[in-house]
Amino acid sequence: MRASIRIPAALLPLLLAACAAAPPPATPGTADDASGLNATRVREIVDVEPDDALAVSTIRAALTRARAANAGVSIAGFRHSMGGQTIAPGGIVLNMLPHNRMELRGDVLHVQSGAVWKDVIAHLEKSGRSVAVMQSDNPFTVGGSLSVNCHGWQHLHEPIASTVLEMTVLTPDGTVRRCSRTENAGLFSHILGGYGLFAVILDADLRTVPNETYRAVHTRCDVGSYEEVFDRRVRTNPAGGMAYGRISVAPRGFLREAILTTWEREAGPPPPLRAPEMSRIARMVFRNSAGSNFGKRVRWYLEKTLLPLLEPKHTSRNQLLHQTIDVYVDRGAKSTDILHEYFVPRTKLAPFIDSIRPLLRRQRIDLLNVTVRDVKQDHTTALPYAREDVFAVVMFFSQQRSPQAELAMETLTRELIDKVLAAGGTYYLPYRLHATREQFHRAYPASEDFFQTKRRVDPDGLFTNQWYQRYGAD
């Protein structure tokens, strides 16, 4: 029998608060990304068809027009990056979203790059299979995930590049190539995690895993003991399926208290996949913690006490991956969501958090959420962020849309990067371009060779974006 739950009276005003207003519409002739701070004039946006032959013809024609106009070309899906990684200023943007067919061939998913994980999960569900590695939410495209070499809650696993068997790509000279670890291997390692600078990903063959039945186990701890708890609950637990941690941003216990959530395998068929749910109450609780210490206290209280009571007894791997961003995404016209992510070597998590706690306390930038995931060493890509086994510390900020807030975020980002570099770690590249060039090259010592290969593969610099223009262009 489910326990009865009494909502604290102090919580009711939050639950009755109105949701944020819709953001302003995009300006015609521009491209933006998830930051909502990056509207940029572009020459044209080209939709790429699902038919393979038509897609190749469309892309080649776009490349010809770009060369004639001395313009660049960028590649985009849902544009969930935040620093212009999908935008070629004044250039042509290839919209890959229509290029979205998929087919399960045995245990291997053959999927076009514009396919969205939400649809992939539903497709695999029919055959009892599941995605091996993806982000923790479902609206991203396969091609975008490969281009940033994403990771997720899939514990004790390398990033998504480790699950790619082969790809079909179109290079800057218009040639269609197959690449894998044994065929065009150098191109393979640079396209994965290559931010669209080497080729257009047309399709990929991805390894899948069985769908499974899980039950959630929540373990409270503190930052100092998190690694020990993780080793006990996850690394040495053969029943462990997925895992992530959350660190408190409430004023009391700020960046000290933590919860490790693990999903342990159980016998029996997985529950049927349901459509992603967006709880209005959950959204209100999250969004009303922005700018409110009281709201953050309420949220942490709910996560510690009520969430375990409200969760279903059993869930499936596919259901956990089938999460929507609508629960938390900012829809306001005055503020936006900004992500940071820092990769910290094992044994260094607590010292890193201790080093940034005073920095984040004194900042007026609103930190809404901190999660912790683990990522094993990347053995595939040419520009790896996981050069050893690491913990990923994901920070979710609410930022006002103003020059002053942008300057404050730039300053904070550079300070946080200095802290993670001092801890022997690095930072993730799909976000705002606030790192200095010197910080970027310190964080990614392989970047010089990476960009030299870029210029050899694409001597005219046809594939470009704002990230490359900031850190890689001559």
Helix, strand, coil % in the chain, rounded to nearest 5: 35, 25, 40
φ, ψ of residue 57 to 5 degrees: the values are -60, -45
> Per residue in 321-377, pLDDT tens?
998 887 778 878 899 999 999 999 999 999 999 999 999 998 788 999 999 999 999
For range 427-453, the mean pLDDT = 98
> Per-residue pLDDT for 152 more than 60?
yes
In order of 102, 155, 261, the CA distances from 444 in angstroms are 34, 24, 31
Confidence of residue 277 (pLDDT cuts 50, 70, 90): low
- Residue 32, class by beta-carbon neighbours within 10 Å (0-12 exposed, 13-18 middle, 19+ buried)? middle
How many distinct helices (H) and strands (E) make up the chain? 15, 19
- If you count them, how many residues does the chain have? 474
Task: Report pLDDT digits (tens) over 115-128.
Answer: 999 999 999 999 99
User: For residue 278, what pLDDT band results from cuts at 50, 70 and 90?
Assistant: low
Level-2 CATH architecture, domain 98-210: 2-Layer Sandwich (3.30)
Q: What is the 3-state secondary structure (H, E, C) of 30-79?
A: EECCCCCCCCEECCEEEECCCCHHHHHHHHHHHHHHHHHCCCCEEEECCC
Is residue 33 within 8 A of residue 80, CB to CB? The reply is yes
Helix (H) or strand (E) holding 123: helix 117-125
The answer to whether the Cα torsion of 440, 446, 449, 454 is positive or negative is negative
Q: Which residue has the higher pLDDT, 313 or 191?
A: 191
Nearest one of 133, 144, 149 to 383, comparing CA atoms: 149
Give the pLDDT confidence of 101-112 residue by residue, as tens digits: 999 999 999 999
Q: In the prediction, which pLDDT does 102 show?
A: 98
Is-contact 50 449, C-beta < 8 A? no
Q: What percent of the chain has pLDDT over 70?
A: 94
CA distance 197 to 169: 12
> What rounded mean pLDDT belongs to the chain?
91
Amino acid at 297: R
Residue 426 bridge partners (DSSP): 343
Sign for the pseudo-dihedral over CA of 392, 285, 313, 232: positive
Q: How confident is the model at residue 29 (pLDDT cuts 50, 70, 90)?
A: confident
* 137 band by pLDDT with thresholds 50, 70 and 90: confident
Q: Which long-range contacts (CB under 8 A, 24 or more apart) does 268-272 make?
A: 268/213, 268/314, 269/213, 270/128, 270/211, 270/212, 270/213, 270/316, 270/317, 270/318, 270/319, 271/213, 271/312, 271/314, 271/315, 271/316, 271/319
Q: In this structure, are strands 73-76 and 92-95 parallel, antiparallel, or unpaired? A: parallel
Task: Provide the token pair at 48.
Answer: 């790429």
Q: What is the pLDDT of residue 226?
A: 98
What CATH number belongs to 213-434?
3.30.70.2520
Residues of 213-240 as b/e, b for ≥16 C-beta within 10 angstroms?
A: bbbbbebebbbeebbebbeebbeebeeb
Give the distance between the most distant pair of CA atoms in the chain. 70
Domain segments of the chain as ranges: 98-210, 213-434
C-alpha pair distances (Å), 458 with each of 27, 126, 182, 195, 197 = 31, 41, 22, 14, 8
Q: Would you say residue 459 has pLDDT above 70? A: yes
Instruction: State how far the Cα of 192 lies from the Cα of 158, in Å rounded to an integer.
Output: 13
Q: What 3-state DSSP class applies to 116?
A: strand
Asked if 98-210 and 213-434 have one fold, the answer is: no
User: From edge to edge, which strands make up the β-sheet containing 73-76?
Assistant: 44-47, 92-95, 73-76
What does the alpha-carbon distance between residue 276 and residue 116 come to, in Å, rounded to a whole number? 14
Q: What percent of the chain has pLDDT over 90?
A: 80
Contact 263, 245 (CB under 8 A): no
Residue 94, beta-bridge partner list: 46, 75
pLDDT grade for 155, boundaries at 50, 70 and 90: confident
Q: What is the mean pLDDT of residues 208-232?
A: 96
Site of tokens 């997925």 = 242
> Residue 287: which pLDDT band, with cuts at 50, 70 and 90?
confident
Amino acid identity, residue 84? G
3-state secondary structure of 327: helix
